[in-house]
Amino acid sequence: MSDAKQLLTQLFKNNNINVPANRMNLFDKFLQDEQNIAAINTINQNQDWLMTKWKLQDRIAEIMQQPVRILNASVGKSYEAKFDFEKFGWKDITAYEFEGLEEAGLLYDEKTKQITGNPTQSGDIKIVFKFKLEAQPEDAPLNEKIITLIINPDPKSLWKNLESDKNDPYWKEDDVSVFAPIGDRHILVSSKRGRAHANVGSFREDDFAFKYLENGWSIVVVGDGAGSAKISRKGSALACNSVVDYFMEKSSVENMKEFDEFLQQHKTNPDEDTLKKLNHFVYNHLGKAVFYVHKQLEEFTTKEGFPLKDLNSTLVFTLFKKYDIGYALLSFGVGDCPMAVLNKNVSKIINLNWIDVGEFGGGTRFITMPEIFKNEKFPTRFNFKLIDDFSYLILMSDGIYDPKFVVEANLPNIKTWQKFLEDLGGKNEDRIKVELRVDNKDIVEQLSRWMDFWSIGNHDDRTLAIVF
């Protein structure tokens, strides 16, 4: 059957017109009529035209609905994302343009099939992808497909830096950095309010104190006020200063002489007995100091009418003195602030305390907790070390420990400390260098800048004290 005959038969059938056998001759003749042939051709053409047009529109709709995902971008981070027509199955696209890419700081590179650039503004950007298919006539307008590109804000820009309230009765400076001589050494210390606090205009809760005492001893103290305690900023300040006050008192200055004697005995007789005496002295004398601090905090809260836990703060301190046989270091620690001393050529690390790292949910301990004094572990919070010489004595709050040491297992490892010193020496992302030299006039500024290092998820207050 010819195409024409088939078409017409179908057409007639659709319209319930039956061509009986006795009309077949007539039907064949009908099909050969010139006018009729022309009409059939027109029908054919129209059908083709309609089908082509439908296919085209269907294809455009298909592309429009096709989910196109492109990687999210971030402000300030160079962006690179594949936008490959072939992968999307868009071989039939003959012309295209992007609208909105340039405004977002991006460009499409046909050769590499990539969208690249440095996004400048965050938000859900609507990019208009205009395209034409090969089946479309040349003068047809471009089709428009909206593609959403998510541009994240630069996390750094989201942090606000709001000043803390200076009229607050327990206000303290947001950032403090100091360089000073201490005994026969120097101390460089910086204590900075964390971004988490700056973001909401709250206070620095860390604190520190140091002092050269008249009897040849020097003391360095660091305290970290608990985030969950209302006026822990005062707690840490009071705790740090009370320790220094205690050791400055005449009676304790006097008492320390006993240590000189014990050390002398130990020097002539370096046996267990003399060492025991020394350790005993440390436990007794420093124990009194710690109890004094606890009492000071208690008195303060009684006077002010607060519960003691409002002052919750960790407390670590080290006393050191140079003798002819080397340095004596006496220390105490409660909480999660590590203290350590490095030998002269930085090949050995001595941890001066163990740190209270709780399980999930605030397991650390504070100087305000009466139970620490009764706990069987209390004596282990004290330490006595005698070393020939040292390069650095370092005390830090968890704001430094968390990003730089991460886990306890790293604390006894000399390599982590060497890395830490290299970091201070400029081996860091921002190439900020702290030159630990006494004659370095910019030393305070250098450490202060170093302290601002960026570490994702670590925005606590930071305190770092280095004696060298």
**Which positions touch another protein (CB under 8 A)?**
67, 69, 71-72, 74, 122, 124, 150, 152-153, 155, 158-159, 194-197, 199, 226-228, 360-362, 364, 398, 406-409, 456-460
Minimum distance, C-beta of residue 201 to another protein, in the bound complex (Å)? 13
Phi and psi (nearest 5°) for 420? Answer: -60, -45
d(CA 166, CA 61): 62
**DSSP code for 162:** P
Between 141 and 361, whose beta carbon lies closer to another protein? 361
CA nearest neighbour of 278 among 328, 319, 220, 342 = 328
Between residues 320 and 405, which has the closer beta carbon with respect to another protein? Answer: 405
Cα→Cα distances 373→273, 302, 303, 379, 383, Å: 26, 20, 23, 9, 16
Closer residue to another protein (CB): 21 or 409:
409
What sign results for the dihedral spanned by CA atoms 251, 256, 262, 268?
Answer: negative
For the bound state, the minimum distance from the C-beta of residue 85 to another protein, rounded and expressed in Å, comes to: 20
Picking from 461, 440, 441, 437, the residue whose alpha carbon sits closest to that of residue 451 is 461
Among 300, 155, 173, residue whose Cα is nearest residue 239: 300
Beta bridge partners of 255: none
Q: How far is the CB of 457 from another protein (least distance, A)?
A: 4
Asked if 117 contacts 153 with a C-beta cutoff of 8 angstroms, the reply is: no
State the nearest-atom distance from the C-beta of 163 to another protein, in Å: 18
Separation between Cα atoms, residue 242 and residue 233, nearest integer Å: 14
Question: Minimum distance from CB of 88 to another protein (Å)?
Answer: 16
Smallest gap from residue 383 Cβ to another protein (A): 22
Q: Specify the residue, 207 or 461, whose C-beta has the smaller distance to another protein.
A: 461
Residue 322 has φ and ψ, to the nearest 5°, of: -90, 130
Q: How far is CA 262 from the centre of its chain?
A: 48
CB of 196 to another protein, least distance (A): 4
Whichever of 199 and 418 has its CB closer to another protein, that residue is 199
Nearer to another protein, 270 or 358 (CB): 358
- Tell the smallest beta-carbon distance from residue 385 to another protein (Å): 24
CA distances to 146, 228, 279, 283, 394 from 289, in Å: 70, 26, 15, 10, 21
Q: Which is nearer to another protein, 159 or 292 (CB)?
A: 159
Give the C-alpha separation, 452 to 448, whole Å.
7
Pick 71 or 180: Cβ nearer another protein: 71
Q: Can you name the residues that pair with 319 across neighbouring β-strands?
A: 219, 330
In this complex, which beta carbon is closest to another protein, that of residue 311 or of residue 393?
311
The Cα–Cα gap between 277 and 379 comes to: 14
